[in-house]
């Protein structure tokens, strides 16, 4: 059987170690692939002025599937200061390469599942009747529109004449900002399209039906952001009525959702939102299942290109430890999403079962699971290293 080729994107900081340990687990579970490593991240910004080189885009275009580790991003001035001397002053502006990937390949569908592992000491608990302690089981999939909205990158500071003329054509701009000097203005747009919004809604409803979820919740703010959030909810009602009458459609405002997710998180199934609100609500739900060490994601286009990554960052303060202490489960779970995507769900099920057994057994726990502050000496306090956690999962396999 021909091996599948996967583009390996270690990125920055802890990205390489969690990706390498994940590859070991994949092999132990029976997934034998060829990995082609691609350049991405801060190193290539500093020495080339391109955190996402064209050669990397070409590899992903060719092989279609990417496993991504983590990325470092810094403010504009810091990014400029870390460029090679011969690249400084040339007008280069750093932008996140993962956002660049999304835009270049139109990876507009982002899925972030948040599922409780029984026995995880980081699971959300609450008080029940009579002072009892309840541990609700969370099983939520957040669908985030990945390429539009506030992260679309259409922004200006000190807008030029054309942009300023467009802004002043709106009476509320004249009323609220007309007296503000133009050079003091910074503007970020929130653009939704019918096509992009319909695609993320359809993907959410399809996932709900295929996986037995009873509801899809639109989590936006249509009572205030009437044009964009309002359009999403309007389209959701139309799609649900015509194609998914068997799936309940719920509607929550993002601020209210932040309250309700800690009151009754077990009530929610699939949640769908625009780019910014999807980012917020997915991190909030991830906090209920153990935090970023357990938070995985997939992002995909409509032409077969998909990239799978944990939602945590590069954690540069941990990157140079003699032994890595970070939790690799988010990266492993992201790889399981990749396996599901390419039809290797039997292997992904084996891996998830192994993770569940390790977590439930509680003999091997990384520092976050032991609720220790991150430092090199956590290993002396009984915390497992990244490799030791991977070894424990492999042993269960």
Is the pLDDT at 2 greater than 80, yes or no?
A: no
pLDDT at 73: 86
pLDDT at 265: 96
Is the pLDDT at 1 greater than 70, yes or no?
A: no
The full 3-state SS of the chain, as one line of letters, equals: CCCCEEEEEEECCCHHHHHHHHHHHHHHCCCCCEEEECCCCHHHHHHHCCCCCHHHHHHHHHHCEEEEEECCCCCHHHHHHCCCHHHCCCCCCCCCHHHHHHHHHCCCEEEEEEECCCCCCCCCCEECHHHCEECCCCEEEEEEECCCEHHHCCEEECCCHHHHHHHHCCHHHHHHHCCCCHHHCEEECCECCHHHHHHHHHHHHHHHHHHCCCEEEEEECCCCCCCHHHHHHHHHHHHHHHHCCCCEEEEEEHHHHHHHCCCCHHHCCEEEECHHHHHHHHHHHHHHCCCHHHCEEEEECCCCCEEEEECCCCCHHHHCCCCCCCCCHHHHHHHHHHHHHCCCHHHHHHHHHHHHHHHHHCCCCCCCCCCCCCCHHHHHHCCCCHHHHHHHHHHHC
User: In the chain, pLDDT over 90 holds for what percent of residues?
Assistant: 93
CA-closest candidate to residue 126, choices 369, 295, 288:
288
pLDDT at 82: 94
Give residue-wise pLDDT tens across range 200-209: 999 999 999 9
Q: Structural domain boundaries of the chain?
A: 1-108+303-397
Is the pLDDT at 219 greater than 90, yes or no?
A: yes
Give residue-wise pLDDT tens across range 123-153: 999 999 999 999 999 999 999 999 999 988 8
pLDDT at 153: 86
Q: Model pTM?
A: 0.93
Q: What's the topology of domain 1-108+303-397?
A: Isopropylmalate Dehydrogenase (3.40.718)
- Which of 72-76, 86-90, 367-371 is predicted least confidently? 72-76
Give residue-wise pLDDT tens across range 312-356: 989 999 999 999 999 999 999 999 999 999 999 999 999 999 999
């Amino acid at each position: 059987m021909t091996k599948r080729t996967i583009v390996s994107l270690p990125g920055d900081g802890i990205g390489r170690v969690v990706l390498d340990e994940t590859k070991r687990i994949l092999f132990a579970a029976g997934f034998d692939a060829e990995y082609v490593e691609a350049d991405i991240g801060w190193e290539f910004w500093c020495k080339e002025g391109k955190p996402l080189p064209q050669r990397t885009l070409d590899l992903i275009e060719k092989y279609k599937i990417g496993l991504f580790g983590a990325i470092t991003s810094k403010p504009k001035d810091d990014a400029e200061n870390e460029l090679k001397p011969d690249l400084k002053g040339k007008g280069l502006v750093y932008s996140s390469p993962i956002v660049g990937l999304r835009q270049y390949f139109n990876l507009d569908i982002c899925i972030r599942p948040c599922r409780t592992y029984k026995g995880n000491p980081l699971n959300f608990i609450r008080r029940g009747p009579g002072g009892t302690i309840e541990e609700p089981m969370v099983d939520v999939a957040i669908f985030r529109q990945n390429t539009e909205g506030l992260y679309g990158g259409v922004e200006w500071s000190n807008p030029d004449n054309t942009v300023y003329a467009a802004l002043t054509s709106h009476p509320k701009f004249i009323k609220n900002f007309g007296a503000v000097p133009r050079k003091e203005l910074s503007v970020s747009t929130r653009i939704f399209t019918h096509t992009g919004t319909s695609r993320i809604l359809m993907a959410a409803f399809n996932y709900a039906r295929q996986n037995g979820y009873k509801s899809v919740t639109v989590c936006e703010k249509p009572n205030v952001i009437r044009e964009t959030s309002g359009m999403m909810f309007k389209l959701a009602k139309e799609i649900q009525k015509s194609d998914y009458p068997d799936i309940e459609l719920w509607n929550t405002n993002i601020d209210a959702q932040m309250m309700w997710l800690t009151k009754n998180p077990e009530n929610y199934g699939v949640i769908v939102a625009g780019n910014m609100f999807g980012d917020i609500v997915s991190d909030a739900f991830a906090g209920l299942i153990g935090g970023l060490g357990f938070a995985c994601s997939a992002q995909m286009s409509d032409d077969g290109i998909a990239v799978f990554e944990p939602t945590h960052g590069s954690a540069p303060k941990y990157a140079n430890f003699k032994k890595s202490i970070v939790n690799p489960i988010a990266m492993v779970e992201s790889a399981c999403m990749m396996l599901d995507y390419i039809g290797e769900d039997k292997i992904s099920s084996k891996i998830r079962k192994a993770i569940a057994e390790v977590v439930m057994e509680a003999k091997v726990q990384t520092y976050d699971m032991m609720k220790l502050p991150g430092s090199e000496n956590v290993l002396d306090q009984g915390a497992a290293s990244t490799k030791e956690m991977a070894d424990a999962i492999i042993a269960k396999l």
